[in-house]
């Protein structure tokens, strides 16, 4: 999991980066139901963000105007945003799909990724798109990833609308499709254990890393740093969010089978590589090198779902987890 912090200007972007954020997500909280920032603000931040980090753009809840949305997405691509999020609240599914396909076309020739977004609390609104359709919409809309967020400002958060187990299913399905997966929505430090069990690629926050713990105050680097620290402690397994439920480790040498090196890859990338390998050769043993503890649980769920056997699991001298799988 990597940390995405929502920022409104260059000052907040610098605070987020100082605190260790991996992604700064530029938005405008004063415009409608979360709107997009002025292009000059995006450009200013994009120019300051080091290449090792990401600067994404949020368009918020987009209007029912496909040409207008496509133009905004095109601008994000021209500004070299890492990704652009296109969100839907009250909308016909087919219109949302058409909008995403037009947005994807608008990004042709750019490196900007298209992220489809639905809100976990959409069903509070008459005609709101069911968030349960997120993976289907992202897949059919040719998105590079998806974000599930919330819009309510009454103290409820993501887990009040979509249970942990359903989020886990959706995230795993997205990873199997090779998409990036992101969760946000009034998340706090107290939600980190649940988030870690779901294990999205990206965790998005704002209020939790603001100076007063209020999304309307300013992002503060020390708050970002503490959130990032707690996220990493769960990622490495120093804080165990699974209550020790796992597979016993058995040491075994890796001669004579295929090895997939997952270091430096996302969980989606690892699962995708495994799926391709097994599709090509379903008889060979596969050893996969996994960069962190949380992703081992995703691999266990994926293996069980697809009836693959996990023969061994061990830690190597470099601290990486090595898992041997028999298709």
Tens-digit pLDDT profile for residues 218-272: 999 999 999 999 999 888 888 888 764 433 333 444 445 788 888 877 888 888 8
Pairing mode, strands 202-205 and 286-290: unpaired
Q: What is the pTM of this model?
A: 0.81
In a domain, 247, yes or no: no
Least confident segment among 66-80, 142-156, 313-327: 313-327
Same domain? For 179 and 272 the reply is: no
The arithmetic mean of pLDDT across residues 270-296, rounded, is 86
Mean model confidence pLDDT for the chain: 89
pLDDT tens-digit series, residues 107-118: 999 999 999 999
Same domain? For 158 and 231 the reply is: yes
The arithmetic mean of pLDDT across residues 68-77, rounded, is 96
Show which of 220, 235, 250 is a domain's final residue. Answer: 235
Show which of 202, 235, 268 is a domain's final residue. Answer: 235
Domain that holds residue 276: 258-326
Same domain? For 157 and 78 the reply is: yes
Same domain? For 211 and 293 the reply is: no
- Residue 251 has a pLDDT of 40
Active-site annotation, residues:
27, 85
Tell me the HSE value of 156 on the side-chain side, using a 13 A CA sphere: 15
Same domain? For 110 and 6 the reply is: yes
In a domain, 36, yes or no: yes
- The answer to whether 119 touches 131, Cβ cutoff 8 Å, is yes
In a domain, 249, yes or no: no
Q: Tell me, what CATH number does 297's domain have?
A: 3.30.110.40
Same domain? For 73 and 173 the reply is: yes
Same domain? For 193 and 293 the reply is: no
Distance of CA 318 to the CA centre of its chain: 27
**Which residue, 27, 34, 29, is CA-closest to 13?**
27
Same domain? For 220 and 277 the reply is: no
Same domain? For 180 and 302 the reply is: no
Pairing mode, strands 54-61 and 83-88: parallel
Least confident segment among 49-58, 187-196, 237-246, 255-264: 237-246
In a domain, 90, yes or no: yes
What is the number of domains present in the chain? 2
Same domain? For 262 and 223 the reply is: no
Same domain? For 174 and 279 the reply is: no
Q: Tell me, what CATH number does 92's domain have?
A: 3.20.20.380
The DSSP H or E segment spanning 205 is strand 202-205
In percent, the amount of the chain with pLDDT more than 90 equals 64
- Residue 32 has a pLDDT of 59
- Residue 215 has a pLDDT of 63
**Which residue, 142, 143, 122, is CA-closest to 132?**
122
- The answer to whether 54 touches 24, Cβ cutoff 8 Å, is yes
- Residue 268 has a pLDDT of 84
Least confident segment among 67-76, 255-264, 283-292, 293-302: 255-264
- Residue 322 has a pLDDT of 87
């Amino acid at each position: 999991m990597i940390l995405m912090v929502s920022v409104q200007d260059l000052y907040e972007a610098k605070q987020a980066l100082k605190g260790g954020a991996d992604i700064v997500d530029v938005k405008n909280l004063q415009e409608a139901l979360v709107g997009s920032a002025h292009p000059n603000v995006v450009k200013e931040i994009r120019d300051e963000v080091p290449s090792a980090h990401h600067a994404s753009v949020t368009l918020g809840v987009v209007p029912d105007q496909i040409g207008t949305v496509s133009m905004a997405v095109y601008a994000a691509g021209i500004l070299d945003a890492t990704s652009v999020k296109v969100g839907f609240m009250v909308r016909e599914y087919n219109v949302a799909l058409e909008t995403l396909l037009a947005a994807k076309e608008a990004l042709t020739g750019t490196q900007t990724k298209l992220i489809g977004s639905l809100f976990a609390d959409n069903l509070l609104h008459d005609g709101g798109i069911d968030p349960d359709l997120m993976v289907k919409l992202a897949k059919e809309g040719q998105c590079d990833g998806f974000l599930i967020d919330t819009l309510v400002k009454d103290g409820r958060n993501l887990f009040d609308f979509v249970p942990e187990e359903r989020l886990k299913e959706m995230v795993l399905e997205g990873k199997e499709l090779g998409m990036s997966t992101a969760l946000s929505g009034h998340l706090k430090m107290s939600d980190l254990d649940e988030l870690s069990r779901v294990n999205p690629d990206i965790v998005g926050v704002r209020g939790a890393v603001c100076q007063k713990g209020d999304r309307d105050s300013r992002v503060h680097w020390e708050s970002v740093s503490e959130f990032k620290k707690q996220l990493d402690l769960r990622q490495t397994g120093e804080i165990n969010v699974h209550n020790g439920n796992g597979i016993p480790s058995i040491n075994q040498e890796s001669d004579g089978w295929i090895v997939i090196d997952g270091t430096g890859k996302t969980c989606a990338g690892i699962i995708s590589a495994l799926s391709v390998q097994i599709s090509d050769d379903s008889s060979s043993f596969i050893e996969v090198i996994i960069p962190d503890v949380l992703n081992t649980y995703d691999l266990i769920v994926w293996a069980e779902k697809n009836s693959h056997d996990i023969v061994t699991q061990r830690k190597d001298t470099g601290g990486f987890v090595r898992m041997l799988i028999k298709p």
